[in-house]
Amino acid sequence: MDVDPTPATPVQPFLHDLHATVAAPSQVWSGADGQVFPAGAQGVYHADVRVLSEVVVRVDGVLPEPVGGGGTGPGTSESTAVLRMIDGPGADPTAALRRRRTVRPGQVSESLELTCGTAEPVAGRVTVRLASDLTRTETVKQGLATTPLRPDVSQGLRWTDGAAVVEVSAPGAEVVADDGGATLAWDVRVVPGGRVTVGWSAHSRVPGVVEAPARPDPEWTVPQVEADDRRLAPLVARSLSDLAGLRMSAAFAPGETFLAAGAPWFFTLFGRDSIWAARMLLPLGTDLARGTLRTLAARQGTHDDPTTSQQPGKILHEVRSQELRGEGGMTLPPLYYGTVDATSLWVCLLHDAWRWGLAPDDVADLLPALEAALGWMRDHGDADGDGFLDYADTTGHGLSNQGWKDSGDSIQWRDGRLAEGPIALSEVQAYAHEAALGAATLLDAFGRPGADEWRAWAATLKHRFREKFWLHDDVGPYVAIALDRHGAPVDAVASNMGHLVGTGILDTDEERVVAHRLVAPDMSSGYGLRTLSTTSAGYWPLGYHRGSVWTHDTAIAVLGLAKAGFGAEAGELVRGLLEAAPHWDYQMPELYGGNAVGDGPGPLPYPASCHPQAWSAASSVAILTAVLGLEPTPDGGLAAHLADPSPVGAISVDGLCVGARRFLVRATPEAPVRVEPSDH
């Protein structure tokens, strides 16, 4: 029976079996063999446009047969294929093609190197088929059909729609263009033991407000990590390499670096995501935090604008070059403020960066933005006047949920009903509480008024939270995911409560209750923390926010648990992430399935999961922070205490930072932690 593989209606393309080569704001999505076929999400992208939709190599009209491939560093990848269409007799493959790809901001280049181990020279015709549809990223994400454009060959090979431009150069190639694209061709002859290399490159320009950072080197140290658990070091190394490819800057804050949220769909500035990633990386330096804070402050809300959800003091949600059109009639303006948590998190990042050594002058410059952010929390964050920060989309075409779980079905009752807004999320109250206390400390330290007001505000919020958010079920007490429009606590057991621990909004006994709930079998899959308990009617292991595991969500819970002294519970979740990491070749994806260890050979891929993802990659540093109990001291030093029991055994990390000082930390379960100056 013939089966038509084409869906009857457009569907979002899968990403889990594709390889990404990334150097923001450019990226290539291909198979592991390097081929970019005109299907799904494959393509060469610059900013939010797919500039090439096909890059397929053939030799004598036949596809090379891949034998290996993968990433070789930030913005580079390599694949090897055998060429049995031109090799000599015998079972051994005796002709090979090595394809090396390099991605730099606005540029993609490839070298195609042919070698042979034959008795006589081999010859063949190498072709590269290129096509371009100059399609917006969200069009690709929705799985909508696109049409290749005819190239312009009047002055070289190029495609343009009047705004985006991609120009291709291919030294020595014959170029043949047609309505669907262009073919580059080289006739080659390779002698035994020799090599012949041909290549091409593409330069792209796309108008927009986000561009590549000017500085070539990352804003953080790359620590040397050793641990008894041999999975930790490669996880940290791969994560920091991935983060290097996500570094970007915006035209409205030139020279300031932040991390794009993730590839391919969120390849731009996102307030919440960029803040959390910078916050997790603070033990490696404060430069990224400074750039993130300054970039977001440069577009902090100044007035009320219902069309963009802007309000005075509010920190933005995301920046695009054009209006974003999504599924279900969603349309977001290029500058969109529909987030309830980014403003408080911005304050938390500033406070934490100060503690980790951000220069006083840099902090002082940002204090007016801090005071504006506090003003938003007090004057605008509570739309319905119940004393809690909440959200509701008033445009009818924005995000219906505006916390980190921003899918339409993420906030639901245990029986599967969706909660009605305005919605006050539990973790948002915790962020606001932590922000108010951190801001009070900063205001006192810099001689500015208002500290006592914000301590009192935090105390009132904490009291009100205790009265409204706690629930009981057959297991015992727990924290509701949110309050709905009627002020009723939404009773699903969810990972949101993991974000409360360590923020100060719970007392020690309450934190202990939450810690036990987080590692219970219904929440901990053995690969990390599920977003929704298996006891909920809406649970589904591949639900975006209703049963899957998000790397950063687990890491935030780990940080809080470790800070609050619950080493055993933090360690269980750390071991879960380390158990998952090798299944993804240590590139932790945006999210993955919530199936339990033993239920299949490994965690299920969430097929549309972004990778690399900034806060997922930054989670590896959060693990270091939690396991070593890292805390900056008031005198610019570093304190550490090994988690008990240690989830990774003995551990050594060289290259941790507090301000300009560098530290080496060594810890074993049998001896006290040693913190020493480092030359790394």
pLDDT tens profile 474-506: 999 999 999 999 999 999 999 999 999 999 999
Spatial distance between the Cα atoms of 63 and 82, rounded to a whole number of angstroms: 10
Question: Mean of the pLDDT values across residues 447-459?
Answer: 98
pLDDT at 216: 76
409 pLDDT higher than 60: yes
Confidence category of residue 89, pLDDT binned at 50, 70, 90: confident
Residue pair 617/242 in contact by the 8 Å Cβ criterion: yes
Residue pair 401/272 in contact by the 8 Å Cβ criterion: no
pLDDT, tens digit, 9 for 90 and up, residues 335-367 = 999 999 999 999 999 999 999 999 999 999 999
pLDDT, tens digit, 9 for 90 and up, residues 611-668 = 999 999 999 999 999 999 999 999 999 999 999 999 999 999 999 999 999 999 999 9
pLDDT at 578: 98
Spatial distance between the Cα atoms of 54 and 148, rounded to a whole number of angstroms: 9
Sign of the C-alpha dihedral computed for residues 166, 167, 173 and 176 taken in this order: positive
2 pLDDT higher than 60: no
Q: What percent of the chain has pLDDT over 70?
A: 98
- Which tokens go with 182? 């262009």
- Beta-carbon contacts of 101 under 8 Å, excluding residues fewer than 6 positions away, are 21, 28, 34, 76, 77, 78, 108, 109, 110
Q: Domain 211-674: which topology?
A: Glycosyltransferase (1.50.10)
Spatial distance between the Cα atoms of 55 and 298, rounded to a whole number of angstroms: 39
E strands in 460-583: 470-472, 477-479, 482-483, 489-490, 549-550
106 pLDDT higher than 60: yes
6 pLDDT higher than 70: no
Using CB atoms within 10 Å of the CB of residue 177, give its burial: 0 to 12 exposed, 13 to 18 middle, 19+ buried.
middle
Q: What percent of the chain has pLDDT over 90?
A: 92
Mean pLDDT for the chain?
A: 95
E strands in 422-497: 424-425, 470-472, 477-479, 482-483, 489-490
Residue 114 has, within 13 A of its CA and on its CB side, a CA count of 28
215 pLDDT higher than 90: no
Confidence category of residue 128, pLDDT binned at 50, 70, 90: very high
Confidence category of residue 211, pLDDT binned at 50, 70, 90: low
Residue pair 64/56 in contact by the 8 Å Cβ criterion: no
pLDDT at 213: 64
Residue pair 483/468 in contact by the 8 Å Cβ criterion: yes
Spatial distance between the Cα atoms of 658 and 282, rounded to a whole number of angstroms: 8
- Its CATH architecture, for the domain 19-207, is Distorted Sandwich (2.70)
DSSP string, 71-106: EEETTEEEEEEE-TTTS-SSSS--EEEEEEEEEETT
511 pLDDT higher than 70: yes
Q: Between the CA of residue 623 and those of 352, 569, 620, what are the distances in Å?
A: 17, 13, 5
Confidence category of residue 324, pLDDT binned at 50, 70, 90: confident
Closest by CA position to 300, among listed 312, 318, 288 = 312
Sign of the C-alpha dihedral computed for residues 519, 525, 529 and 535 taken in this order: negative
Q: Between the CA of residue 149 and those of 129, 173, 427, what are the distances in Å?
A: 14, 21, 47
Q: Assess whether the previous peptide bond of 612 is cis (omega < 30° from 0).
A: yes
Confidence category of residue 7, pLDDT binned at 50, 70, 90: low
Helix (H) or strand (E) holding 463: helix 451-468
264 pLDDT higher than 60: yes
415 pLDDT higher than 60: yes
Confidence category of residue 8, pLDDT binned at 50, 70, 90: low
Q: How many residues does the chain have?
A: 680
Instruction: Give the single-character DSSP code of 497.
Output: G
Q: Assess whether the previous peptide bond of 422 is cis (omega < 30° from 0).
A: yes
Q: Which pTM was predicted?
A: 0.96
Question: Mean of the pLDDT values across residues 194-218?
Answer: 85
Q: Kindly list the domain boundaries of the chain, sorted by start residue.
A: 19-207, 211-674
Residue pair 150/334 in contact by the 8 Å Cβ criterion: no
Cα-to-chain-centroid distance, residue 367? 28
Instruction: Give the single-character DSSP code of 417.
Output: P
Sign of the C-alpha dihedral computed for residues 492, 495, 501 and 502 taken in this order: negative
Spatial distance between the Cα atoms of 313 and 302, rounded to a whole number of angstroms: 6
425 pLDDT higher than 70: yes
Residue pair 107/203 in contact by the 8 Å Cβ criterion: yes
Helix axes 271-280 and 614-628, enclosed angle (nearest 10): 30
Alpha helices, DSSP H only, in 117-175?
137-141
CA dihedral angle for residue 113, residue 118, residue 120, residue 123, rounded to 10 degrees: -40
Q: Between the CA of residue 659 and those of 533, 537, 656, 664, what are the distances in Å?
A: 40, 48, 10, 14
- Beta-carbon contacts of 33 under 8 Å, excluding residues fewer than 6 positions away, are 64, 66, 69, 79, 81, 99
Residue pair 261/274 in contact by the 8 Å Cβ criterion: yes
pLDDT, tens digit, 9 for 90 and up, residues 565-587 = 999 999 999 999 999 999 999 99
Using CB atoms within 10 Å of the CB of residue 224, give its burial: 0 to 12 exposed, 13 to 18 middle, 19+ buried.
middle
